[in-house]
Amino acid sequence: MIGQSVKVTTIRGIDVGVHYSWFIILFLLTFSLTARFASEHPHWTLAEHYAVGVATSLLYFLSILLHELAHSFVALAKGIPVRAITLFVFGGVAQIGREPDRPLTEFQIAVAGPVASALLSFGFWIIASVAGDQFERVGALAGWLSSINLVLALFNLVPGFPLDGGRIFRAALWQMSGSLSTATRIAAGTGQAVGYAFIFFGIWTGFTGTWFSGLWMAFIGWFLLNAAQESVVQVSIRSVLSGLKAEDVMSRESPVVSGDRSLADLVEREILRTGRRCFLVSFDSRIEGLVTMHEVKGVPRDQWNRTTIREVMTPLAMMQVVAPDTPVLTILQVMEREDINQVPVMKSGDLLGMITRDRLLQVLSAHVEIGERDQVRGGRASVSEP
């Protein structure tokens, strides 16, 4: 999500950005609120209608940011890294670096968001009450924000994963079953059911009521459905890779090229002929770095003949290196955090192998294929029983 967003600021080491879709909903919400205030307060000037509409929209998204920051601050307090917060068309999302280590932590992180929204609702209600008729514009703004934050708190408590309520439900299931994978599968199944319910109710509303409200509700259901399905896939991946270490999956046949070769020679003799995209770089029989297609494409094509591999490689000292006993799940987190596609495996300064995303995909594919065959065999065995 953050890759398709514009960074706005950094709060306690967390990158805060807005997804491109956010600008669409900002415009639609501002237009809707301006029309609402114009109908409820026709004696305001046109400029006042737009000013209050824009201010209310911005404060609404500030409320969503505070909701996500509540999740993030609790996660940070529990020692869980938070990479980024992104505001997008359906609200906001905090990208937490890893899963909580116990059910109580999951519950505390999940419940922080709705609590923050409920407190904001109460705070805006107080402002609206104090403003009264004397500060009508402030009162109108605060009144709407109080209502929408209450709706936000209650909506997020719906037990459909990955909503906050679904995460609270998962924490309870985790506590009872003792298994995060089992809890996630059940909670995600509930989330898919909630997603389908929103889609069908949105379609029904679109035909019997307001088509825009129905369409919006169906889109929310579609988003929940896809997010729940993605959660199941992620759990399956963690389940497959949980017992594996770097030495189990690394490739021991890592192509090595000399650092004094030109980029043109690398492209013509290695990349185009073998299809490989990643090479270790040696100099005086020592591994000094890594070169990938990314570094090659960063050099203009007309300079490939006079640019050596060593000039563009990533030095070994700047690379993320792992030990052979490093868990694969930890390596995946490193790859995601650093946005890299390959990690060398080294011990006592010696290169043992290389782990790439393609290699991990091959391992996952093999596990999936074996699992499918086991299911087929199990099904045949059950049919043949008397």
pLDDT class for 141, splitting at 50, 70, 90? very high
What pLDDT is stored for residue 383 in this prediction?
Answer: 36
Give the whole-angstrom CA distance, residue 310 versus residue 256: 12
Instruction: Name the residue among 14, 120, 15 with its Cα closest to residue 62.
Output: 120
**Are 93 and 75 spatial neighbours (Cβ–Cβ below 8 Å)?**
no
Burial of residue 119 (CB within 10 Å: 0-12, 13-18, 19+) is middle
What per-residue confidence (pLDDT) applies to 160?
Answer: 85
In this prediction, what percent of the chain has a pLDDT beyond 70? Answer: 93
Eight-state DSSP code of residue 258: E
- Give the residue carrying structure tokens 């000013």: 51
Q: Kindly report, residue by residue over 312-367, the tens digit of the pLDDT.
A: 998 877 878 888 888 888 888 778 777 778 888 888 777 788 888 888 888 877 77
Plot region of 178 (φ>0 → left; ψ -120 to 50 → alpha; else → beta): left
Per-position DSSP letters for 30-62, written without gaps between them? HHHHHHHHHHH-TTS-HHHHHHHHHHHHHHHHH
Q: What is the pLDDT of residue 320?
A: 80
**Averaged over 133-151, what is the pLDDT?**
92
In this predicted model, what pLDDT tens digit does every residue of 243-258 receive, in sequence order?
788 888 888 777 888 8
Strands (E), the chain: 5-11, 14-19, 82-88, 91-96, 256-258, 278-283, 286-292, 314-315, 342-347, 350-356
- The structure tokens 């409200």 sit at 213
pTM (predicted TM-score): 0.71
